[in-house]
Amino acid sequence: MDAGALGSQLVLGLSRGMLYFIVAAGLTLVFGVLRIINFAHGSFYMLGAFLSFTVTEMMGKQNPNGFWLALVVAPLVVAAFSIMIERGLLRFVYGQEHLIQMLLTYSLVLIFGDLVKMVWGTEFKSVSVPGIFIGNLSLAGIIIPVYYVFMLVVGPLVALGLWLFLTQTVTGKICRATATDRQMVDVLGINSTRVFGTVFALGGWLAGLGGALMAPMVNIGMGMDTSMVVYAFLVVVVGGLGNIWGTLISALILGVAEALGVLFLPNLAIVVPYVVIGILLIIRPSGLLKSVW
């Protein structure tokens, strides 16, 4: 085992973690503020990937601008969908029990799954990696595909953007306050449901972004909603429900642990994340960080 391989694996683990973070961040954000477990998050992710496919197809498969346009358009369309869902459906159940709210989002999973099949068909789809990201970057024995370097840049940018939103804007501050103590926010006369639309759209945007970012790496097809969202749920639980920084930490830990597992225990790599999750949950049953930003 040479140092280059180990170094590459660590960096790849980090980029994998960033990817988990981008998908899971929206989930935990919506949970923290709206107190809704949004099962449809995976559907938004899938929708983002499929929209990205459509945009790149319309731009012409070899057009390098297609990817960038998709990166902008797909998350926005998903966010628009999210707003419609929040305004048109979710807000009628805010006074209801958690279970009712959750099952509403689950009905969307079922509906979106079949709608995507109706619109795009069942065949596998693929989005090309834009020209400038093809190939490997090689530095001191560490070899990384360029696209992963890009992911390593986007991940922290998303985290930074979220941090700015939550600490520097009024809406963000209301979000944090709502997540920490909703009764207090209501007592202060701030209508906490007012920010719900924004947050839900932001959650959808993040899922759509995750889908669009993943599109050049994965096989776009039926079932990609559930295979990702279950993992995102685990990341969110380990990180501490509703806590974005906890999610970031747990996503990175999981990403690196998985990558190292692949290197050192390739035979049992699939078990490694579950063992890590199990250990973390035994040590800290309520997540790594508390639900306060």
Site for other proteins in 48-107 (CB under 8 A): 50, 54, 58, 61-62, 81, 84, 87-89, 91-100, 102-104, 106-107
**Which residue from 85, 218, 239 is spatially nearest to 147, judged by alpha carbons?**
218
d(CA 245, CA 86): 25
Interacting positions 131-160 with other proteins (CB under 8 A)? 134-136, 143-145, 147-148
- Number of residues counted as binding other proteins (CB under 8 A): 101
Shortest approach of other proteins to residue 176 CB, angstroms?
Answer: 18
Which tokens sit at 60? 């012409």
Shortest approach of other proteins to residue 79 CB, angstroms?
Answer: 13
For residue 10, CA distances in Å to 28, 235, 252, 283 come to: 25, 19, 10, 24
Continuous segment of H or E residues that includes residue 142: strand 142-145
Which member of 22, 29, 71, 129 binds other proteins (CB under 8 A)?
129
Beta bridge pairs of residue 198 = none
Q: Is 60 left (phi over 0), alpha (psi -120 to 50) or beta?
A: left
Interacting positions 175-214 with other proteins (CB under 8 A)? 214
Shortest approach of other proteins to residue 209 CB, angstroms?
Answer: 15
Which member of 65, 72, 110, 161 binds other proteins (CB under 8 A)?
110
Which member of 194, 227, 279, 292 binds other proteins (CB under 8 A)?
227
- With binding defined as CB under 8 A, does residue 5 bind other proteins? yes
Which member of 59, 149, 154, 269 binds other proteins (CB under 8 A)?
269
DSSP assignment of 180-198, as one string?
Answer: H-HHHHHHTT--GGGGHHH
Beta bridge pairs of residue 143 = 138
Shortest approach of other proteins to residue 208 CB, angstroms?
Answer: 14
